[in-house]
Amino acid sequence: MVNVVIVGGGISGLATAYALKERAKEADMEIELLVLEKENRFGGTILTEKIDGFVIEGGPDCFITEKPWALELSKKLGIEDRLLNTNEENTGTFIFSDGKLHRLPEGTILMVPTNFVSFITTGLMSWPGKIRMALDLIIPKRCESDDESLASFVRRRLGQEVLDKIAEPLVAGIHAGNPEEMSLKSTFPRFIEMELEHRSLILAILARKKKMQAEMKNAPIPKRTYFVSYVGGMVDLIDALAAAIGSKNLLLGKKVLNVEEKTRVHGQKPVYEVNIEGERPIQTDAVIFTTPAFVTAEIIEDLDKSVAEKLRAIPYASSATVSLAYEKSSIPHPLKGFGFVVPRIESRKIMATTWSSSKWAYRVPKGYVLLRAFVGGAQHQKYAMLDDEHMIRMVRTELKDIMGIEAEPVLTKVYRWEMGMPQYTIGHLDRLAVLEQQLAEHSGLFITGAGYRGVGIPDCIHNGTLTAERVFEFLKKKF
């Protein structure tokens, strides 16, 4: 009999396990804990491969430092010295529009301009588009408080052209999502706060910039860039977490099939039986599901059909990343930037490309470059599951058209993420509240992970930590 089984060993599962162990240690309480992961490695979507001196990311290549939780965890794990800033001499993002790569106007924060000279002079936007965007300064704020799509919000405040050329590829692109369906409340609640507080997004961002400049006057130069990774790639975080949790609490190759609730003894909390493929079942006081929502649905189907149905209603989009390494001398492009995004209205077959070796140090041997293209997402699903040969050919054709690259890559790697990215569609938070209320009727069952309250790595860590606290309180009452 154990106290807690955590299903899934991605960042959410490991962060939850770590937080629970730390919390128990602090309270001098013994908690028997097991993380069950179906694959033969931990990390889930976080996957780094090291091949011939190249460091290749299959999934995420960084996290944002604006949300503190991943940085704080790195400090606790003692891997602060492994953190890697972006190469600031190459900073800048490009947008592919009308057959050309345009530098995103300097000072654009998310999709809002703060440097008027660079915005007025950019060839990316038409004059009517620029004028429409400036109307944000006088348009009144929205009074209704119901959820709205990202597209509707951007169209209303900044106009259709900003939506098509900047917000769709750059902002919705973070979620590989369709802005017409994305819930603003669940994905970018900060935009709502900005509108409520300042009416205009431009005024809100300018106020924030001014505040930050004032704060920075007396503060030391910030140590961290907006995006950070680790010297050895994102897997450094997974390795450090696994080492801190300890191998006796971590089991690989354990696919959870279902969970049963054992007969309740009157007045006592239920005991759960976790059934694992090809193994003996494990009895436990609590189960934390960190698996994608549709997998969790399958596991608890027999226990609660209604909860399973609600979990299944959270849609997921498929995507793929294609990494290509080249001899530097064979690339006609200067690669001065972090990469480019491709608006859907351009009707191309890739969503974006990161110039990985420009963005990060320690990614390639001397004399080589590494590029990483994104394929699929909610709006281009059909391309994400092509076989390697077709996918690489397609990406190379796109890179030839967009960047003029004709050379043979010296290395190619394709990673497919089938149903890998949860989509928070309009009304997501309201539906989640109902789901969580229903799940609470099964005392001892918990859910956390990218499917619910934030897909980014810092959010997964934060929500895992909050869940660990709730589980700790639950166990404390039980003991």
CB of 396 to ligand FAD, least distance (A): 19
> Given phi > 0 = left and psi -120 to 50 = alpha, else beta, which region is 148?
beta
- In the region spanning residues 3 to 62, those forming contacts with ligand FAD, defined by CB under 6 A, are 7-13, 36-39, 44-46, 59-62
Cα–Cα dist 378/183, whole Å: 14
Q: In the block, which residue shows the tokens 């962060």?
A: 15
Cα–Cα dist 389/322, whole Å: 11
What CA–CA distances, in Å, run from 60 to 12, 63, 399? 14, 8, 21
Spatial neighbors of 435 by CB under 8 A, at least 6 apart, are 307, 310, 311
Strand partners, 479: none
What CA–CA distances, in Å, run from 32 to 5, 17, 253, 348? 9, 11, 20, 51
Q: In the block, which residue shows the tokens 């006057």?
A: 217
Sign of the CA dihedral running 164, 167, 171, 175: negative
Nearer to ligand FAD, 3 or 65 (CB): 65
Check binding of 113 to ligand FAD (CB under 6 A): no
Q: Which of 149, 291, 358, 423 binds ligand FAD (CB under 6 A)?
A: 291
Count CA atoms within 13 Å of residue 166 on its CB side.
26
Check binding of 450 to ligand FAD (CB under 6 A): yes
What CA–CA distances, in Å, run from 3 to 24, 246, 253, 256, 346? 12, 16, 21, 17, 53
Nearer to ligand FAD, 61 or 148 (CB): 61
Check binding of 315 to ligand FAD (CB under 6 A): no
Nearer to ligand FAD, 10 or 233 (CB): 10
CB of 421 to ligand FAD, least distance (A): 5
- x-or-dash string of contact with ligand FAD, 236-265, rule CB under 6 A: -------------------xx---------
- In the region spanning residues 351 to 390, those forming contacts with ligand FAD, defined by CB under 6 A, are none
Question: For residue 278, how many other CB atoms are within 10 A of its CB?
Answer: 8
Q: Which of 421, 435, 439, 471 binds ligand FAD (CB under 6 A)?
A: 421
Q: Which of 178, 186, 321, 465 binds ligand FAD (CB under 6 A)?
A: 321
Nearer to ligand FAD, 43 or 159 (CB): 43
Nearer to ligand FAD, 238 or 403 (CB): 238
CB of 127 to ligand FAD, least distance (A): 35
Check binding of 149 to ligand FAD (CB under 6 A): no
Instruction: Tell me which residue of 342, 416, 413 sits closest to 379, measured CA to CA.
Output: 342
CB of 304 to ligand FAD, least distance (A): 17
Nearer to ligand FAD, 342 or 460 (CB): 460
Nearer to ligand FAD, 158 or 287 (CB): 287
Nearer to ligand FAD, 187 or 321 (CB): 321
Q: Which of 119, 417, 424, 446 binds ligand FAD (CB under 6 A)?
A: 417
Spatial neighbors of 190 by CB under 8 A, at least 6 apart, are none
Cα–Cα dist 246/288, whole Å: 18
Site of interaction with ligand FAD (CB under 6 A) = 7-13, 36-39, 44-46, 59-63, 255-256, 290-292, 295, 319, 321, 417, 420-421, 449-450, 455-457, 460
